[in-house]
Amino acid sequence: MESSASLEQAKHALLLLGIILGFGVFSGLLARLVRVPDVVVFLLVGMLVGPGLLGLVDIKADSAVNQMILIFGSSYILFDGGASIKLRVLKEVWITVVVLATLGVVITAAITGIAAYYFLGLPFIVAMLLGAVLASTDPATLVPVFKQVHIRERVAQTVMTESAFNDAMGAIVVFAVLGVAMGGGGFSPVHALTDLLKQSLLGIVIGGGLGYCAAVLIAHERFGFLAEFAPVVTLMAVIGAYMSADGLQSSGFMAVFVFGIMLGNVESLGFCRSRVERHQLDDFVMTTALIMRMFIFILLGTQVDFSLINQYLFAGVAVVVVFMLLARPVTVFVCALPDRRAKWTVKELLFMCWTRETGVIPGALAGMLVGMKAPGAQIIASVTFIAILMTIMIQATTTKWLAGKLDLLEEQ
């Protein structure tokens, strides 16, 4: 009986995965027809097939299957984004990236928290906790958008790199504020800064080390005996980079992003690959990243709690409007404008002000707070989903239009 029950569960899980893939394929075609980023359509389709409407897919947010898809999917999408980063561009804008990913997170959290305090009537520390959850941008959303909408190189790579690096800072701020909210002691700036440096540096070292090893195995003239297995190497290394960094209490997402940067710049490291090998790996990464996008955003859509959103809809929308139209612009101009090395134009700064979608990472943080029964966790989860819906459906769909208006589109 036990084995029969396990078999039925396995069949049910396989059916759900098949349904997601089927809807994902048609969603991708629809996105291409209407010329919007596919993550937008995936999210809407997920809401349609979820338990709130058709009820075809119901995978709980705290289930092992969902968590595995989120972790691996986000990691692989982030690896894909890192592989598209050019080191020569990063050298020019690294100051902006660092300041946005550190000070920028604090500024965004503070402004959004103040808005939540006034519009939602939350206790101040709970409002700050909400601001901290929303403060980090989401690489799993931004990377696919910039893969489909070709923006001026240094702008796109700055925003993608910021989104990869600020998830560590965002998590640190969330748990620092949570400690105060739950009576776990006061906030220590020194401890928070030390923790940030530890997570960042360990993530960079682990990702860089594994990336170099992978480059040797697939692109070295003498030792590249795994060249024909390059796609499998990327799968192994993405999992290894995330798990190694996470096991050492550092940022797994930063590790996989740096791993992607290393593998995407093998020529700069003194290695070489044939055109055929390069195209084979690129095709594999592109297809795998597409499948991960399907799963992540369709599942995210199925987990939208409509009743919870309705309960705090109007005040939540007001908070998100402040978050989009005030917090982000202030953050960008304060953090990026002083960077004389990058010499940002007003048009580039305006584009970065608008481009900061919220998605998987803030959603995961909100889910963790609900599981921990943190103060105001249900309200935080509600406003977080409102932010996810608004930023993806408004900002992601207008990215190409705005880039065109600001003369930031690049011909391919």
Q: Which residues contact 358 (CB under 8 A, 6 or more apart)?
A: 134, 137, 138, 141, 384, 387, 388, 391, 392
State how far the Cα of 297 lies from the Cα of 57, in Å rounded to an integer. 13
Residue 334 pLDDT: 94
What does the mean pLDDT of the chain come to?
A: 83
Residue 350 pLDDT: 94
Q: Which residues contact 405 (CB under 8 A, 6 or more apart)?
A: none
Check the CA dihedral 238-389-41-63 and report its sign: positive
Q: What is the mean pLDDT of residues 150-172?
A: 81
Distance of CA 246 to the CA centre of its chain: 16
Contact 356, 391 (CB under 8 A): yes
Which fold would CATH assign to domain 63-405? Na+/H+ antiporter like fold (1.20.1530)
State how far the Cα of 42 lies from the Cα of 108, in Å rounded to an integer. 27
Q: Is the pTM of this model over 0.85?
A: no
The pair phi, psi for residue 232, each rounded to 5°, is -65, -35
Region label for 358, one of left (φ > 0), alpha (ψ between -120 and 50) or beta (otherwise): beta
Residue 118 pLDDT: 93
Per-residue tokens: 333: 């101009």
Residues linked to residue 151 through DSSP beta bridges, in sequence order: 409
- Give 276 or 351, the one with higher predicted confidence: 351
Domain boundaries of the chain, sorted by first residue: 63-405
Most confident of 36-40, 183-187, 271-275, 365-369: 36-40
Query: What residue has token string 């909400």?
Result: 130
What Rg, from alpha-carbon coordinates, does the chain have? 21
Q: In sequence order, what E strands does 6-123 have?
A: none
Per-residue pLDDT of 172-211, as tens digits, reads: 788 778 877 776 555 566 776 677 677 778 888 998 888 8
Per-residue pLDDT of 254-311, as tens digits, reads: 888 888 888 888 877 777 777 777 788 888 888 888 888 888 888 888 877 788 788 8
Residue 229 banded pLDDT, cuts 50, 70, 90: confident
CB atoms within 10 A of CB 336: 23
Contact 199, 172 (CB under 8 A): yes
Q: Which residues contact 396 (CB under 8 A, 6 or more apart)?
A: 36, 37, 39, 40, 141, 145, 357
Check the CA dihedral 361-144-256-199 and report its sign: negative
Residues linked to residue 180 through DSSP beta bridges, in sequence order: none
